[in-house]
Structure 1
Amino acid sequence: MDDLGYGDMSAYEAGLLETPNMDLLANGGVKFTAGYASSATCSPSRYALLTGTYPWRNKDAKILPGTAPLLIGTSEMTIPKMLKGEGYATAVVGKWHLGLGAGSVNWNEKVSPGPNEVGFDYSYIMAATQDRVPTVYLENGLVEGLDPNDPIEVNYDKNFDGEPTGKENPEMLKMKWHHGHNNSIVNGIPRIGFMKGGEKAKWVDEDMADHFLEKAQAYVKEKKDQPFFLYYALQQPHVPRTPHPRFEGKSGMGPRGDVILEADWCVGQFMETLEQEGLLENTLVIFSSDNGPVLNDGYYDDAEEKVGDHTPSGQFRGGKYSLFEAGTRVPFISYWKGKVKSGTTDAMVSQIDIFNSLAAIAGSEVRTADGEDFSGLFLGIADKGRESLILEATSRTAFRKGDWVLIPPYKGPAANKMVKIELGNDADFQLYDLSTDIGQQNNLAKENPEKLKELLEDFIAIRGESFGSTEALELK
């Protein structure tokens, strides 16, 4: 999922939303309470998920514009490449946001390189993410439904003559922009970036969840008689939040709550398809989110006004973009009917470990350097997780070891005022003991210098000395 917080799932016993289909996975599988995305933002997180590599090792692993080149190198090992080596068919359906092409992209021809060049036999994706142009779907690199007489043009620097924008034509909007999202208007919604043409190819936002679900279901039915790997990347609850009319108003929390309920329904429908096709007892399902939650992420959609007592971040501090726990600690579940021993574990695991764990389960000898093999954890037959983990948020990094979290000094604002989330920046070191302070309210750096020094040395041993904190180097 996309921007789903730890507290947005009822199985995690936080928040007020009811997510029965997601909960079935959590209650029938292994529910990780210390499962992490590698990054607090989407593109770096997805890069790490598919490559099993820390995103800070790739200088380009940042939130990408819609015209960014492919972030994953075509020579890099990926989960789908590894599984293809073991005889699996591979596919991605849904959000991509890992760049496309090698530079300037012509959207009117086959766009390459893309998912198909990094291991996916089949790809059906949105070009970037739903708040950025071009607002079209691509199937195996080709824009779906494109009229050659109405070619697509995209520019992230300047508008095309005569094209309306959210900033200049507010009367055309059905969803108002709050910050950043005031360029080309598609489906009454202003986006980031400028687009001209491709009218017949443009998606209808309200139908997107159904559309991706149908593609995922069709793939399962097509490949049911052979081993397959499907990366089903739902777009909810990322902005713009546009629930299908079936779900509009159902949560009482505005569009954000509604699209989470919509996604929960999609999960239920997808699992039902696995069952109907006789695949439920022969399929490992891993469910998670790319980063923590955010309420107002660029549009006026009542997310802040109607959240009420719901707590998207659960008991954790921060959210999307943040080095605090809520930025990267997310729902994380492994489910395999009849094979996974169900239960809850507080063992620490990261999405970068999915690569090595799947490799072990599939019988591949390929491994990544940053990931670990926790196949036993995913199957519910082991209880030991990571000893340490580096966490990332907008190129800044922090370090968790055992129950301790170290956040080095970073310049910059303490909070992003636009989205109202604490970022974790501070002029001083921060040190938290999660065993007694899960909400990270009590900074123990000054009163526990020995623990601070221990974590800092371990952190630098992995991260190197170029993580942006001169004070840290002086302490060392």
Structure 2
Amino acid sequence: MVLKKSILVLLFSVLLFTNYVNGQSNKPNVVVIYLDDLGYGDLSAYGATELNTPNMDVLANKGIKFTNGYATSATCTPSRFGLLTGVYPWRNKKAKILPGSAPLIITTKQETLPKMFKRAGYQTAIVGKWHLGLGAGNVDWNAHITPGPNEVGFDEAYILAATQDRTPTVYIKNGRVDGLDPKDPIFVSYKKNFEGEPTGKDNPELTTMKWHHGHNNSIVNGIPRIGYMKGGEAAKWSDVDMADHFLVKAQEYVKNHKKEPFFLYYALQQPHVPRTPHPRFVGKSGMGPRGDVILEADWVIGQFMKTLKDEGLLENTLIIFSSDNGPVLQDGYYDNAIEKLGKHTPAGKLRGGKYSLFDAGTRVPFMVYWKGTVKPQVSNALVCQIDLLASLASLTGVDADVNDSEDILSTLLGKSKKGRKSLVLEAGSKTSYRTGDWVMIPPYKGIAVSKNTSLETGISQEYQLYNLKKDVSEEHNLAKSNPKMLKKLLAEFEEIRGKDYSNIKKKY
């Protein structure tokens, strides 16, 4: 069976690499479009009835729509680490939600997606959100910042260092703050404020967006942020123009590199807080800023797809779309995301959301689109972003240090209905186990509902066992009624987690 699958993938790859002419490379371009906090139920292709996302829907309805597609974590930094390295984020103690001043958590010697593509002869780039740390500590933001994306495989990098709600609120181009005036140096701190600088906590009269929790430090464009910052006025971004700004950078990239195979990691900031839609989209959703920025993201993706078409690249480009974790409504600012939600269900029928061990924390929209090559279909196969490294290495025909990544190329291309057998998922350094239709959440100490987000965390001091095929909303805990299955999953889980989980287990 394994041999048959290998031959199938080999023959398919040979076919792909001989199908392209007209002066283009015979190697397909690869684009990963990655959204931030987009939920399983936020797309009309995934069942949303109150939001219409026609451009994202094209990727789902004319490509492969996976119904069991997962990020590795219920938060951003760990998921991005897993996607780029093929390593479970819980294996790296530094893979937590990082401040904007954090050092790089991917080592320069580590295998990454862009490094693999470079060995395959690809040009590589990231446009958008990074949030994996920069430098080696005590970054001088006025000099060349290294190591960063360029040192882990990206030829070109145009990024925001962390998140839109964190300092520094500037773009960084290939290791240097874009547009920085040397006469107005920039300083960043996550420990204390700079003398004379206003904050959201002390100067609410200077803010245009009210903070709910945590976001009460330096004020930029009327928005209080996490972290402190001084200087760099000319380099500060315009929040309402961010989506347009990154779109232009992504469009310029594909135009400049259309004669060679490229890998583009296009990491949009929507719908993460602060939700700052361009005036063109304000009020369009009727759901407040969160709904508006989802519509904005959909438009941006449509414009990017149009660029690929106009440049004659669409039929030679494999596009993978997903989100870094599940949805959250209240995540630091008062923006009416809850009050104006109406009938919309960001997580669909799933339970939980961002930060949660329940399924909505990590099960996300996951689509693969390749015009003329991938046939439209819906797949229930278990797939994960961590598998992109091994799978795309198989596509390009190069060797890679795949670690936890599994080669599911035939599944991603719609030639197989079988995905990975099992998956360890993470939320806040706590892990759960998914295999087949079953999910097991071990006992942990902690709160059941977050006071800040009002979301269920999935934490309980009792074992939890759910059959997702029969109970997608995880309402019926079968741990006590099916001890045999619980024991089986726990043994498999402990074999993967090893000593890491044994240490946790001893506490409870």
TM-score tier by shorter-chain length is over 0.9
Deviates further, 465-474 or 216-225 = 465-474
Match of 1:6 in 2: 40
Shift of 1:14: 3.4
Matched, 1:122 2:156: yes
1: CA distance, partners of 2:230 / 2:241: 22
Match of 2:337 in 1: 303
Shift of 1:363: 1.0
Match of 1:224 in 2: 258
Specify the SS of the correspondent of 1:467: helix
Q: Read off the aligned partner of 2:480 and give its amino acid letter.
A: K
| Residues 19-51 of structure 1 deviation map (CA, whole Å, 9 limit, x = unaligned) | 000000101101000000000000000000000
Matched, 1:271 2:305: yes
Match of 2:192 in 1: 158
| CA contact 2:353–2:359 (8 Å) conserved in 1 | yes
Shift of 1:379: 1.1
Deviates further, 345-354 or 460-469 = 460-469
Shift of 1:369: 2.3
Match of 1:410 in 2: 444
Matched, 1:60 2:91: no
Match of 1:387 in 2: 421
Measured on the aligned residues, the alpha-carbon RMSD in Å equals 1.1
| CA contact 1:4–1:292 (8 Å) conserved in 2 | yes
Pick one of 219, 241, 257 that aligns with 1:207. Answer: 241
| Residues 338-368 of structure 1 deviation map (CA, whole Å, 9 limit, x = unaligned) | 0101100000000001111111111112241
1: CA distance, partners of 2:239 / 2:49: 26
Shift of 1:268: 0.2
Match of 1:359 in 2: 393
Specify the SS of the correspondent of 1:154: strand
2: CA distance, partners of 1:216 / 1:365: 28
Structure 1: give runs of 5+ residues left out of the alignment.
none
Instruction: List aligned pairs for 1:436-475, cutoff 5 A.
Output: 436-467=470-501
| CA contact 1:220–1:274 (8 Å) conserved in 2 | yes
2: CA distance, partners of 1:28 / 1:185: 43
| CA contact 2:186–2:230 (8 Å) conserved in 1 | yes
Q: Read off the aligned partner of 1:141 and give its amino acid letter.
A: G
Matched, 1:183 2:183: no
2: CA distance, partners of 1:419 / 1:362: 42
1: CA distance, partners of 2:261 / 2:145: 28
Match of 1:77 in 2: 111
Matched, 1:97 2:149: no
| CA contact 2:85–2:111 (8 Å) conserved in 1 | yes
Specify the SS of the correspondent of 1:438: coil
Identity across aligned pairs (percent)?
Answer: 67
Shift of 1:466: 2.6
Pick one of 269, 272, 275 that aligns with 1:235. Answer: 269
Match of 1:422 in 2: 456
Match of 1:34 in 2: 68
Matched, 1:397 2:409: no
Matched, 1:432 2:466: yes
| CA contact 1:184–1:191 (8 Å) conserved in 2 | yes
Q: Read off the aligned partner of 2:383 and give its amino acid letter.
A: V
Specify the SS of the correspondent of 1:128: coil
Q: Read off the aligned partner of 1:106 and give its amino acid letter.
A: D
| CA contact 2:111–2:401 (8 Å) conserved in 1 | no
1: CA distance, partners of 2:205 / 2:49: 36
Shift of 1:89: 0.1
Query: CA separation of 1:84/1:471 partners in 2, compared to 1, >3 Å: closer, same or farther?
Result: closer
| CA contact 1:409–1:472 (8 Å) conserved in 2 | no
Q: Read off the aligned partner of 1:136 and give its amino acid letter.
A: V
Specify the SS of the correspondent of 1:18: coil
2: CA distance, partners of 1:135 / 1:322: 28
Pick one of 165, 168, 175 that aligns with 1:141. Answer: 175
Structure 2: give runs of 5+ residues left out of the alignment.
1-34
| CA contact 1:33–1:331 (8 Å) conserved in 2 | yes
Shift of 1:196: 0.4
Query: CA separation of 1:470/1:380 partners in 2, compared to 1, >3 Å: closer, same or farther?
Result: closer
1: CA distance, partners of 2:343 / 2:504: 41
Q: How many residue pairs get matched?
A: 474
Match of 1:258 in 2: 292
Matched, 1:174 2:208: yes
Shift of 1:473: 8.8
| CA contact 1:80–1:229 (8 Å) conserved in 2 | yes
2: CA distance, partners of 1:70 / 1:470: 27
| Residues 167-200 of structure 1 deviation map (CA, whole Å, 9 limit, x = unaligned) | 1111111110000000000000000011000000
Q: Read off the aligned partner of 1:162 and give its amino acid letter.
A: G
Instruction: List aligned pairs for 1:264-343, cutoff 5 A.
Output: 264-343=298-377
Shift of 1:154: 0.8
| CA contact 1:287–1:332 (8 Å) conserved in 2 | yes
Matched, 1:346 2:361: no
1: CA distance, partners of 2:373 / 2:435: 31
1: CA distance, partners of 2:355 / 2:506: 22
2: CA distance, partners of 1:14 / 1:441: 21
| Residues 384-436 of structure 1 deviation map (CA, whole Å, 9 limit, x = unaligned) | 01111000001000001111100000001001121011001101100001111
* TM-score normalised by structure 1 residue count: 0.98
Specify the SS of the correspondent of 1:284: strand
Specify the SS of the correspondent of 2:307: helix
Q: Would you identify which runs of 4 or more consecutive aligned residues in structure 1 move more than 3 Å?
A: 468-474
2: CA distance, partners of 1:402 / 1:21: 31
Specify the SS of the correspondent of 2:452: coil
Shift of 1:374: 1.1
